Structure 1
Amino acid sequence: MAASSGSQQPMTEDHLRKGESVSGLHAVVAGSVSGLVARSVTAPMDTIKIRRQLQLASELKYRGILHTFRTVVREEGVRALWKGNVPASAMYVLYGSLQFGTYAWLNAAAVPAGLPPQAHSLAVGALAGLVSSLLTYPLDVLRTRLVANRSAHFFSLRRQARVIWATEGPAGFFRGGAWAVAATTLTTGLIFGIYETCTIAADAYSLPWLATAASPAAGLVSKAAVFPLDTVRRRLQIVDAKDIPFFTRDPGAYGALRGSRFLTVAVHMVRVEGIASLYKGLSMALCKSTPTTVITLWVYQRCIRLLEPTQTSQLPA
C-alpha cells in the first residue's frame, strides 16, 4: 500500500532528491572523489571496451572480453590496462565535480518550476550532463587516443596533445563532441531520472530491494540506450589521427573516412560491418556501467554524509 505523502521520512538517504539542499562546494568535492574512485576501479574494463569498439570487422585481433584482456596483457603488459589513465582520471574528477556541482545548484534553482520529482531529476540531470561533458571532452579524446595505442610503447599525454594540435588543430580535441554531449546528456538524465524514480517508489511502497537496485538499474538502462552513439564517436575520435597505424591493423579503412561526419561513419559501419558493429563492446560496457554508477552514487552520498553530518544526522537510523 502506498504511504501517505505528507510527513513520512524517506527510508533511503538521498542527497540528489528534488529540493535537497547541498552545499555547492561539498557537491563538487564529493563529485570529484566519487569520479576518481570509480575511474580507478573500472579503468581496465574501459580499456577493453574501447579496444573492442575500435576494432574493424576486417580484424580478428580481439575475440571476446577474456581474449581481449589476455591479448593486451601478453603483448603490452599489465600496465596497458591503465593506458590513458591520467587524462581519464582528470576527466572523471572534473566531470564528477561539474556534474554533481551543477546538479546541486540546479536541483535547488529548479524547484520553483514545479516539475514532478521524476521529471525534475531527469531535466536537472540532463543539464548537468551537458555542462560536464562539454567541458571535459578534450580529455576524453586524449584518453581514447592513448587507450587505442596497441604498441608496447606508451604515448605520453603531452606528446599526444601536441600531435593533435599540430595535425588537426583545436577542432581535433572536439571530434564527435556534439554527439558525445547529446549522448552524455541523455545518459546523465536517464541515470538521475531512473535512480530517483526507483528510490521514490521504494520509499512510497516500502520496498528496500528497489532502493538497492536503483543504482544498477540506472547504469544498465542508460548505457544500453546510448551505446551506439558512444561507439561511433570513438571511431570519430581516431579517424583523423596521425598515429592511426598504431591503432589498427587496417589503417586504410579508417583513412577512407578521414574528415567524415558522425552520420557518415555510422552509416558506413552498418553497411560494411553490420548493425551489430554499433554494439561492439556493449557486454563490457554493461559490466562496467553497473559498478561505475553504483560506486559513483555510493561514494557521493557517503562523502556528503561526512561533509554535512548535521543534515544527515536528522535522518532516521
Structure 2
Amino acid sequence: MALDFAAGCLGGVAGVLVGHPFDTVKVRLQVQNSNQPRYHGTIHCFRSILKQESVWGFYKGIGSPMMGLTFINAIVFGVQGNAMRHLGRDTPLNQFLAGAAAGGIQCVICCPMELAKTRMQLQGMGEYQVKSRVYKNSLDCLVRIYRKHGIRGINKGMVTTIVRELPGFGFYFLTYDCLTRALNCELDDSFIIPKLLFAGGMSGIVSWLSTYPVDVIKSRLQADGVGGINQYSGIMDCVRQSYRKEGLQVFARGLTSTLLRAFPVNAATFATVTMFLMYSRADEACKPQEAAPTIQQPSSL
C-alpha cells in the first residue's frame, strides 16, 4: 500500500506537469462566450495564451491539482485495491466497479480542487471580468470562496463531478487492464516501456471520451458567477441553455485539447508509476492493480 501511494504521487506529479497546459486551453475553450469567442480553436488558444501571458499562462491554477495529488492518489489506489480484494475475482466487470468506486470517493477532494483550478485559469479573460489577479493562488481562491459561500460554495459542481468520475474511472481501469493483458506486459520485454506508454495513453483517451459532455457542463457551472452574474440555475438549465445557444457541438467544446492532453498525461503517469514499482518490486511491477495510474484531468486524469 505504501509503495502504491508513493508511486501514485510521483505519477500524478508527472501527469500534471505534462498536461496542465492542455487543461488550461480546454477550460478556456469550454467556457468562452459563444457570441464573441476569444479563441477560434485549440491552436489559436495555445498561441494567444503564449503571446499574451507567456508560457506561465499555461500553468495558471496548477497549485490546486498539485495540492490535491497526495490525497487523490491515496484515495484512488487505496479504494481501488480494497474494492478489488472485496470483490474477489479479477474480472473486467470488477475492474470497472472498483475503478468507479475509487472515482466516486475521490470527488471529495477533486471537486474543490477543480473549482479552484478553473477559477485560476479564467483570470485574464475579459468576459469573466477577471482581467486582474483576483486570487493569489489556488488556496487563496478556495478560502475566498468558502468565506463568501461556505461549504456549498467550494463544492460547486459536485454532482457533475461525481457523474463524470464514476464511469470515467471505471472505463480507465477497465481499459488499462484489458490493454496490459493484450500487450502481454512482461518485465523482461525490451518493448515494455512503449507498451506501458501506449496502454496508459489510450486508457486516458477512452476515459475522457466516455464522459466528456459532462465535463463541459461541470466547467461551465464552476465558472458561473465569476463575474458576479449567475447564468444557470442548475445542471439541466445549463444543459438547456448551452444546447439552445450553440447546438450539440457545445458538448465537444475543447475536446481536441483534452485528447491531445489525455495521451501524454496518462502515458507519463503510467510510465512513472510503473518504473517506480519496477525498481521497488520487480516481481510485481506489471500487475494491473499495482501499476495502474490515476486520470489529471478528469481529469485528473
Place the TM-score, normalised by the shorter chain, in its bin: 0.7 to 0.9
Q: Would the aligned equivalents of 1:35 and 1:95 in 2 still touch at CA under 8 Å?
A: no
1:31 aligns with 2:11: no
Equivalent residue, structure 1, for 2:140: 159
1:169 alignment partner, SS class: helix
Equivalent residue, structure 2, for 1:286: 259
Equivalent residue, structure 2, for 1:135: 109
Q: Cα offset for 1:288?
A: 0.5
* C-alpha distance in 1 between matches for 2:143 and 2:180: 46
RMSD between superposed Cα atoms in Å:
2.5
Shift in CA distance, 58/313, structure 1 to aligned 2, threshold 3 Å: closer
Shift in CA distance, 210/84, structure 1 to aligned 2, threshold 3 Å: closer
> 1:1-25: per-residue Cα shift (whole Å, max 9, x none)?
xxxxxxxxxxxxxxxxxxxxxxx11
Q: Would the aligned equivalents of 1:134 and 1:181 in 2 still touch at CA under 8 Å?
A: no
* C-alpha distance in 2 between matches for 1:234 and 1:128: 21
Equivalent residue, structure 1, for 2:230: 255
Task: Letter of the 2:175 partner, please give it.
Answer: I
Equivalent residue, structure 1, for 2:49: 72
1:90 aligns with 2:67: yes
Equivalent residue, structure 2, for 1:46: 23
Q: Cα offset for 1:91?
A: 2.4
Q: Would the aligned equivalents of 2:29 and 2:254 in 1 still touch at CA under 8 Å?
A: yes
* C-alpha distance in 2 between matches for 1:221 and 1:309: 28
* C-alpha distance in 2 between matches for 1:78 and 1:198: 35
Which protein shows a greater Rg? Answer: 1
2:135 alignment partner, SS class: coil
Q: 1:55 aligns with which of 27, 32, 42?
A: 32
Shift in CA distance, 71/154, structure 1 to aligned 2, threshold 3 Å: farther
* C-alpha distance in 2 between matches for 1:49 and 1:193: 25
Q: Would the aligned equivalents of 1:37 and 1:296 in 2 still touch at CA under 8 Å?
A: yes
Task: Letter of the 2:170 partner, please give it.
Answer: G
2:211 alignment partner, SS class: helix
Q: 2:250 aligns with which of 263, 272, 277?
A: 277
Q: Would the aligned equivalents of 1:91 and 1:140 in 2 still touch at CA under 8 Å?
A: no
* C-alpha distance in 1 between matches for 2:212 and 2:204: 12
Task: Letter of the 1:153 partner, please give it.
Answer: R
Q: Cα offset for 1:88?
A: 1.7
Shift in CA distance, 56/313, structure 1 to aligned 2, threshold 3 Å: closer
Task: Letter of the 1:49 partner, please give it.
Answer: K
Q: Cα offset for 1:161?
A: 2.2
Q: Cα offset for 1:313?
A: 11
> 1:105-125: per-residue Cα shift (whole Å, max 9, x none)?
3233321xx4x6211211111
Q: Would the aligned equivalents of 1:198 and 1:211 in 2 still touch at CA under 8 Å?
A: no
Q: Would the aligned equivalents of 1:133 and 1:184 in 2 still touch at CA under 8 Å?
A: yes
Shift in CA distance, 47/212, structure 1 to aligned 2, threshold 3 Å: closer
Q: Would the aligned equivalents of 2:217 and 2:235 in 1 still touch at CA under 8 Å?
A: yes
Residue ranges of structure 1 left out of the alignment (5+ in a row): 1-23, 246-253
Q: Would the aligned equivalents of 2:160 and 2:217 in 1 still touch at CA under 8 Å?
A: no
Q: Cα offset for 1:27?
A: 1.0
* C-alpha distance in 2 between matches for 1:155 and 1:305: 41
Q: TM-score, normalised by structure 1?
A: 0.79
Q: Cα offset for 1:219?
A: 1.6
Equivalent residue, structure 2, for 1:11: none
Q: Would the aligned equivalents of 1:75 and 1:152 in 2 still touch at CA under 8 Å?
A: no
Q: Would the aligned equivalents of 1:176 and 1:236 in 2 still touch at CA under 8 Å?
A: yes
Q: Cα offset for 1:233?
A: 0.5
> 1:192-216: per-residue Cα shift (whole Å, max 9, x none)?
1011122223349xx9998764323
Q: Would the aligned equivalents of 1:53 and 1:280 in 2 still touch at CA under 8 Å?
A: yes
Q: Cα offset for 1:134?
A: 2.5
Q: TM-score, normalised by structure 2?
A: 0.83
Q: 1:303 aligns with which of 269, 276, 279?
A: 276
